[in-house]
Amino acid sequence: MSEATNIELGGVHHLALVCRDMEKTVEFYTNILGMKLIKGFDIPGGQHFFFDMGGNNLLAFFWFSDAPDASPGVASARHLLGAGNISSGHGSMNHVAFHAPLEKIEAIREELIAKGIEVSNVINHADIDTQPGVLRTTKNVAETTWLRSIYFLDPDGIMLEFCSAVKDGTGDVTLPVNAEGKKADGRGLDGD
């Protein structure tokens, strides 16, 4: 049983990312994704802008005059899911997933493509026990399909996802690994 706490979580107020060009970022998130720009202001050495993602959730961006260049594969994913390795460094933000209506996921994909955005195929995520050599994704919707997703990049190479739930997940949770990749029972990711 957990100890009493005064901490109350009500979801995410905003996620703050960093962009290279605020003008291009505003163009992409308003005109391509249809988000409303609700606030934007200058700060010492930069700017801070907020977009409404719907559902009382905000996506924010900083622009810093002294920000270092992007580091795909370190600070963000290097590839889209299905197109290469998606690992990123400790403490990084790998991708942002937006809720999407299940019946619209394919139409959203087609609209993004029509707007000149490179988009992954629809990925069907299976809710199955992880087994060596068995993919957790399927080409088509199957009995085990939990989520359907599409992936694409924003102008700064930030991987974005539109995600639709096909059904509730089982709630199964495997043991977490430590820094050396070992679970509390001594096994690794492949059960060895």
Region label for 22, one of left (φ > 0), alpha (ψ between -120 and 50) or beta (otherwise): alpha
- Tell me the pLDDT tens digit for each residue of 23-73: 999 999 999 999 999 999 888 888 889 999 998 899 999 998 888 887 776
Query: 81 lies in a domain?
Result: no
Same domain, 119 and 165: yes
For the chain, the domain total comes to 2
Tokens of 169: 């997940």
Q: Are residues 57 and 103 in the same domain?
A: no
Phi, psi of 25 (to 5 degrees): -65, -45
- CATH of residue 49's domain is 3.10.180.10
> Which residues constitute the domain of residue 35?
11-65
Residue 185 lies in a domain: no
pTM: 0.81
134-178 pLDDT, tens digit per residue, is: 667 777 887 777 889 999 999 988 989 999 888 777 777 766 777
